[in-house]
Structure 1
């Protein structure tokens, strides 16, 4: 598989989905937080893995570019899609229906796979199929409820989040996390808004069960968060709307987890997402954090300079040090006039 970057693609004609906006329940209206997601995951076997492209107003597209699983001695690709509305989906099953296709990849198999429809026990916001747990699927709800199912979507275990009302702000899934190397399981880290507070909820997921490892309140208000990053090593960065950057670390001891602050908070300046007033839809989304592994995090934001620029900051959360700064001009074809 090959890819090329061509002319910038304008998204101004796309409507922005408000379904999973922070602080909003499914189906409720609210301000959007993100416009575009593009991620790529490498396969452990050295193959290309898969790419995921999510565009608000257009949907989520997953490009699977490697052979996925082995079933009965043959290679099989399984595809899972969460359905909000469709002609053959009842209104009571909206956002809870999953369509599954199982496609044999052998050369002699030329027929199309048959679609299977399953209703999940709760509304869906994320579906994960971890490589280190073959024939297992993890289902996540907008309220932080998590279910473990087999490859045919039979639910094996569920974990309901006890604090209500709740709204999932961000989720991270790590396979073979270095935090708990003795556990042959997947680590799920959730950041959940409860009333005016933000809580961190950490679970380990094995082939048959779900175990809660940590549930703790963070010293950060729910409405003040701009973005969150988390690494497999447990380093967490939180950027607030006023430009404050806070960092934390998860630590393990005897199969338990605890949370500590790694350094004093820092204050960012001259970024468009920093506002003393209510941020606009555009400025609120002009900040992004990405963990680069260990304690390294990449921050990308739009400056308030004239003309505005895209600025990248490479940060080491462990020592609270900026390792690199790079600014890029915004292409003229991408209009950036403030509304």
Structure 2
């Protein structure tokens, strides 16, 4: 079965800070192009390794970080006067433990200014040798000057003794690892701007067909009002040739991010938010699907500010998003949101749906309000990203040109674990159509914008205001906004069904996402007032939240809302209920096993005390939920895997059976239990009060149905668990007398059944006779006989669907 797409919680790898002095000097350099606080690259020499991240920190040096240990293994400190033009490149030889690092120097007092941005420094580091024998960073490096500026260094695992240097305009140079220039190919135009570079092994490029062995280099270039896609091949003989070039018109729209997969699927996002997907072949480039318009990302807000000619200079600073092709149709997008979050979005471009997302709060060290952020997603393989459990590196930094000379530039590097299917399927896309509604503009939005009703406008305004209050950590203000809005709407409408009209499915879903925020970690300021009110109104469905309603409420420790949901939410699945029951049982067992005389120093009473007791939760669940036996058995096997947990539930059910069984059962009602109905016929009261001792317990039928599924799923586990044997014997002693009593009572069916039928027929005839019109005993009998006669005549005359008429000749 293909793995489901997911994005796990990113973890911090390292932080860096650049001094204001370098930022000021670097901004005056003519050869510097969009210099940021750090440049990073990601290499993974073997599949068993988590890989290494090479970081060039401005005014610091070059560092190689081990992703597995989160510590640097190599550091080349170069001082505050050295800056870098692009990300460094490190080649690893695991068998010899030798690491070779290349870096492009943008400025340094050791080199001539005419070589700034063209000089490559190289270090060799043998981590097996003693520290005293390792070379110094400043004195033991090798250098090479290439004939053009360098915007990126790249390598391919098929060419272990070669690497590539590419200029900002598209010049391509092939170099040997011992710093020898092998070949150079000039750019097609001086006004070109390289947007992204992608290297693939020739064997992994399915879109190139049969080509000689080598490395394929895809350059995505912005040229005037066009997007240029150049595909080059580097052969084993060090030759560089252009296989094909395609041009796509992009009038009046600058490219914000681009990424290409090894299957030739190219994704391009313009600065206006238009997402285009193309398929590359040597003959033609064709669109794969209709473009989608992104929404809710900060670089779009900056673009809108430019169009309106805002006088605020900060509005012209645009954050740069990043795209990373994972498979032929799966793409990971990283960008900043206007709410100062980092949005990580995993898209299926074939079906234009969002499969997974994660919102990461912006680090406090980054001054996002005064300076834009550059995002860079990095993969570790040149032969195409593999499916399954993988991880990418996210570098977040500020451009040095945006610093005012007083505030240092901050940068952070994160590792983003993710899971992605090997290919796009309709089964994986089903159910995710509305997941990306927040991040894209609906096609019908522009057509319907002029015809929005006042109610829809009021709802949209409420959702927006509540989201702002929640993101500002003011949940009580969000509750007040909802209460005031509901009061105004109720005053406008006097319909008894106002709740159904007022709370539509999409509106309630938006309110839940704003209040609960399932994509973010639980907030200590979470307030459940709005959620509880919506659940009590019966307008909430579990499918409105990804992962289910109960899972989101459990993470926020909102057990009061869970109790209300058990009574009011109709689509809670057996899987959700048993997963929640398992949490309650686990807490109950831990509470029993803990020593009351031991001081709980690290416990959190505010969290644990909210979890209900097992009898209370199980009572509510059995009394208000209807189960499907096969699904219930599967859910029990999946979540109640502990024999101790099953034993504790079985013991509780056995005690309930004993209590219910001990109550006297009236086979014949007394005089006080019988009354006359509106037709004058004696009937038994329907609101007879149960004994108080069993009034709050589930019925015998509810207990036995759940108990039967529990035994079907876990009987073998109970047999192998000695403490459960006593409970099984007790259950047998309670069930056998009930079976005997039911067998004896069943013998009365033939005697009593006729009277019961006659009584039911009398009640039915009385109701039908009153509905016919004439009253009185004589009229009732006449009506009854007349109806019976007419029924016999109709049966005799009619030829039914399954009747045959016999004809004798």
Matched, 1:297 2:331: yes
CA contact (8 A) 2:275 2:292 kept: yes
Task: Tell me: CA distance 1:270–1:157, structure 2 relative to 1, closer, same or farther (3 Å).
Answer: same
Q: Which residue of 2 aligns with 1:195?
A: 224
Q: Which residue of 1 aligns with 2:134?
A: 112
Matched, 1:316 2:351: no
**What is the CA–CA distance in structure 2 between the aligned matches of 1:94 and 1:225, rounded to whole Å?**
27
CA contact (8 A) 1:299 1:313 kept: yes
**What is the CA–CA distance in structure 1 between the aligned matches of 2:235 and 2:325, rounded to whole Å?**
24
Matched, 1:99 2:121: yes
Q: Which residue of 1 aligns with 2:30?
A: 27
Q: Which residue of 2 aligns with 1:246?
A: 276
Deviation string for 1:71-124 (max 9, x for gaps)? xx9664322221223333223322212222234455479633442222212222
CA contact (8 A) 1:18 1:29 kept: no
**What is the CA–CA distance in structure 2 between the aligned matches of 1:171 and 1:52, rounded to whole Å?**
18
Deviation string for 1:248-272 (max 9, x for gaps)? 1223xxxx46422111111122322
SS in 2 for 1:227: strand
Q: Which residue of 2 aligns with 1:49?
A: 51
Deviates more, 1:46-55 or 1:56-65: 56-65
SS in 2 for 1:269: coil
Q: Which residue of 1 aligns with 2:382?
A: none
Q: Which residue of 2 aligns with 1:149?
A: 175
Q: Which residue of 2 aligns with 1:78?
A: 100
Q: Which residue of 1 aligns with 2:198?
A: 172
CA contact (8 A) 1:8 1:333 kept: no
**What is the CA–CA distance in structure 1 between the aligned matches of 2:121 and 2:315, rounded to whole Å?**
32
Deviates more, 1:107-116 or 1:185-194: 107-116
Task: Tell me: CA distance 1:328–1:125, structure 2 relative to 1, closer, same or farther (3 Å).
Answer: closer
Task: Tell me: CA distance 1:291–1:137, structure 2 relative to 1, closer, same or farther (3 Å).
Answer: same
**What is the CA–CA distance in structure 1 between the aligned matches of 2:184 and 2:14, rounded to whole Å?**
43
TM-score normalized by the length of structure 1: 0.77
SS in 1 for 2:280: strand
TM-score normalized by the length of structure 2: 0.35
Task: Tell me: CA distance 1:56–1:169, structure 2 relative to 1, closer, same or farther (3 Å).
Answer: farther
How large is the RMSD of aligned CA atoms in angstroms? 3.9
**What is the CA–CA distance in structure 2 between the aligned matches of 1:6 and 1:246, rounded to whole Å?**
32
Deviation string for 1:24-78 (max 9, x for gaps)? xx82677x596666553322352343213355676764437698249xx966432
Task: Tell me: CA distance 1:299–1:108, structure 2 relative to 1, closer, same or farther (3 Å).
Answer: closer
CA contact (8 A) 1:198 1:222 kept: no
Shift in Å at residue 237 of structure 1?
Answer: 1.4
Task: Tell me: CA distance 1:169–1:14, structure 2 relative to 1, closer, same or farther (3 Å).
Answer: farther
SS in 2 for 1:43: coil
**What is the CA–CA distance in structure 2 between the aligned matches of 1:28 and 1:202, rounded to whole Å?**
26
Give 1:186's match in structure 2, choosing from 215, 221, 242.
Answer: 215
Give 1:278's match in structure 2, choosing from 306, 324, 328.
Answer: 306
What is the number of residues matched between the two proteins? 323
CA contact (8 A) 1:148 1:157 kept: yes
SS in 1 for 2:228: strand
**What is the CA–CA distance in structure 2 between the aligned matches of 1:266 and 1:79, rounded to whole Å?**
41
Shift in Å at residue 174 of structure 1?
Answer: 2.3
The structure whose Rg is larger is 2
CA contact (8 A) 1:303 1:309 kept: yes
SS in 1 for 2:249: strand
**What is the CA–CA distance in structure 2 between the aligned matches of 1:198 and 1:283, rounded to whole Å?**
23
Matched, 1:68 2:61: no
Task: Tell me: CA distance 1:310–1:6, structure 2 relative to 1, closer, same or farther (3 Å).
Answer: closer
**What is the CA–CA distance in structure 1 between the aligned matches of 2:154 and 2:13, rounded to whole Å?**
32
Task: Tell me: CA distance 1:19–1:129, structure 2 relative to 1, closer, same or farther (3 Å).
Answer: farther
Deviation string for 1:167-200 (max 9, x for gaps)? 2222222235333475432221112222333311
Shift in Å at residue 141 of structure 1?
Answer: 1.2
**What is the CA–CA distance in structure 1 between the aligned matches of 2:115 and 2:344, rounded to whole Å?**
43
Unaligned 5+ runs, structure 1: none
Shift in Å at residue 333 of structure 1?
Answer: 6.4
Higher helix share: 2
SS in 2 for 1:47: coil
Higher strand share: 1
